[in-house]
Amino acid sequence: MASDGARKQFWKRSSSKVPGSIQHVYGAQHPPFDPLLHGTLLKAAPKAPATPVKAKRVSTFQEFESNTSDAWDAGEDDDGLLAMAAESLNTDVVMETAHRVLRNHSQRQERRKPQDAPGPEQEPKPSAEPPSVPSGDLRLVKSVSEGRTSCPAESASDAVPLQRSQSLPHSVTVAVGGTSDPSALSSSALSEREASRLDKFKQLLAGPNTDLEELRKLSWSGIPKPVRPMTWKLLSGYLPANVDRRPATLQRKQKEYFAFIEHYYDSRNDDVHQDTYRQIHIDIPRMSPEALILQPKVTEIFERILFIWAIRHPASGYVQGINDLVTPFFVVFMCEHIEEEDVDAADVSRVPADVLRNVEADTYWCMSKLLDGIQDNYTFAQPGIQMKVKMLEELVSRIDEQVHRHLDQHEVRYLQFAFRWMNNLLMREVPLHCTIRLWDTYQSEPDGFSHFHLYVCAAFLVRWRKEILEERDFQELLLFLQNLPTAHWGNEDISLLLAEAYRLKFAFADAPNHYKK
């Protein structure tokens, strides 16, 4: 072959058309040379001798003839040409050639089948009609023959070009085989990932001293249902990290709780406490899920938990909204002792009495730990909620000024819809299973219920940006914000919400001037 310099000089010297044989040219409208289709070309014109010859001046036509010879020179430039061709091929041409290669290979396999039967470990032979590939995918289809390491029936002239065809860039090849359904692959991968995460939790919890920091990292993206009760008890600070101390701690705390009941619960009808008990008695039937809460045993348990907490925390006493915070703990701890997948429909009367006593005590202590961090939300005038709603307003004005201005123009005040978000920790806005998933992350975050919840509320409001901007009336806006369409939300929606909240926290939490006007 002539050198690259000679080619460039030739095209510089002459721009007129020179007659020559019409051949496939790399990088034009034809695919790279395929040995299965053009194998005869190699035999028709043998390779030029490699003996060095003294360079002599050739005419322009001779030079052109040499460059466009019918013989395909298997020189060292082939790999570069193949790579160039792979980058610039038309998609339709690529797919047509790939299908032709597969059909050709299939026919050759059929002819070779009596001699060489495939073993059980070999890949299945592709059908005559290869699987369809999306037309927008600019990738070549790798022939199954590339997977074979040796082919005794192949001639030497075929082996060399086959080896060169493997030198195509890896990024433009895709294996041909039994492609599984993408949804089946994703579900199997998901189940494997969940099983792997569950094993990590079990190993961490089974150790003599649980690493709480590592447990928080694992729990941030959700806690598997089988280990959620124990994980919540550890993350809330109810149980110690040391495994040996846990049984004694459980026994002591449960005994302490029922001592409170013996000492205080009979005073619920006294003049001093009857208003508190009456309000609790009124609020519990309003809770959800109704199928669970309205069971007599559950109602009694919730009344005892809320009344004892109110008596032992006189600074705040009982405030509407606290009753909702009992439900997630009770449901999670009940999951250990019932067979039903949906706890909402479980019949609590079939659960042994001693198990219910233990669940009741665990629920009380974990709820108490939660409320210790947000008690200013429920003291007189609820200053904690007032402050958080104001911070939410300032934060939204920074992250989405258009939404903030739209609410202000229609005289919608943040307290009118966000007060409940803070008071009930979004429990009235999303389904119960979403609340439980949300609390997985809250318990793994430092000050999750008191601090991170602010950013979750901001992300939650901006999540409905399009719908908010479409409303042009005060009444319609307020009705929408108080009845958001989240009935069909799942864990994926909560995960996206938490990811956005974390992004906002990362941007604003350590830079308070960013959300100050």
Tokens of 479: 């009705």
Q: Give residue-wise pLDDT tens across range 263-311.
A: 999 999 899 999 999 999 999 999 988 888 889 999 999 999 999 999 9
Please report the pLDDT score of residue 423 as a whole number.
96
Whole-angstrom distance, CA of residue 377 vs CA of residue 358? 28
Proportion of the chain above pLDDT 70, given as a percent: 64
Whole-angstrom distance, CA of residue 454 vs CA of residue 342? 30
Q: Give residue-wise pLDDT tens across range 91-141.
A: 666 577 767 777 776 777 676 655 555 444 444 444 444 444 344 443 333
Q: Higher model confidence: residue 140 or residue 481?
A: 481
- Entry field: residues in the chain: 517
DSSP 3-state assignment of 238?
coil
Q: Give residue-wise pLDDT tens across range 196-206.
A: 999 999 999 99
Q: Can you tell me the mean pLDDT for 462-479?
A: 95
Please report the pLDDT score of residue 104 as a whole number.
76
Question: Which of 250-254, 314-318, 343-347, 397-401 has the weakest average pLDDT?
Answer: 343-347
Mean of the per-residue pLDDT values for the chain? 77
- Band of the pLDDT at 510, cuts 50, 70, 90? confident
Whole-angstrom distance, CA of residue 383 vs CA of residue 450? 13
Q: Classify burial at 235, counting beta carbons within 10 Å of its beta carbon; exposed 0-12, middle 13-18, buried 19 or more.
A: buried
Cα-Cα-Cα-Cα dihedral of 72, 76, 78, 84, to 10°? -140
Task: Judge whether 275 and 288 are in contact, CB under 8 Å.
Answer: no
CA dist list (Å): 78 to 27, 143, 165, 318:
12, 19, 10, 83
Phi-psi region of 347 (alpha: psi -120 to 50; beta: other; left: phi over 0): beta
Please report the pLDDT score of residue 32 as a whole number.
52
Task: Judge whether 167 and 146 are in contact, CB under 8 Å.
Answer: no
Please report the pLDDT score of residue 134 as a whole number.
41
Match 């069909």 to its residue by tokens.
488
Proportion of the chain above pLDDT 90, given as a percent: 54
Tokens of 36: 């299965």
DSSP 3-state assignment of 101?
helix
Question: Which of 86-95, 136-145, 384-393 has the weakest average pLDDT?
Answer: 136-145
Does pLDDT of 394 surpass 80? yes
Task: Judge whether 362 and 238 are in contact, CB under 8 Å.
Answer: yes
DSSP 294: T
Close Cβ partners of 511 (under 8 Å, ≥ 6 residues apart): none
Q: Can you tell me the mean pLDDT for 431-453?
A: 95
Please report the pLDDT score of residue 333 as a whole number.
95
Please report the pLDDT score of residue 99 as a whole number.
72
Task: Judge whether 290 and 389 are in contact, CB under 8 Å.
Answer: no
Neighbouring CB atoms inside 10 A of 43's CB total 9
Q: Give residue-wise pLDDT tens across range 129-177.
A: 444 434 444 333 333 333 434 444 444 444 433 333 333 333 333 333 3
Tokens of 341: 């997948």
CA 134 and chain centroid, separation: 25
Task: Judge whether 112 and 144 are in contact, CB under 8 Å.
Answer: no
Q: Higher model confidence: residue 239 or residue 119?
A: 239
Residue 467, CB-side half-sphere exposure with 13 Å CA sphere:
14
Terminal-to-terminal C-alpha distance of the chain? 73
Please report the pLDDT score of residue 347 as a whole number.
84
- Band of the pLDDT at 343, cuts 50, 70, 90? confident
DSSP 3-state assignment of 173?
strand
Q: Can you tell me the mean pLDDT for 320-341?
A: 91
H helix intervals, 128-245:
156-165, 182-206, 212-219, 228-235
- 429: nearest Cα among 376, 497, 330: 497
Q: Can you tell me the mean pLDDT for 250-275?
A: 94
Q: Can you tell me the mean pLDDT for 325-340?
A: 91
Please report the pLDDT score of residue 187 as a whole number.
59
Q: Can you tell me the mean pLDDT for 368-393?
A: 95
Q: Higher model confidence: residue 386 or residue 509?
A: 386
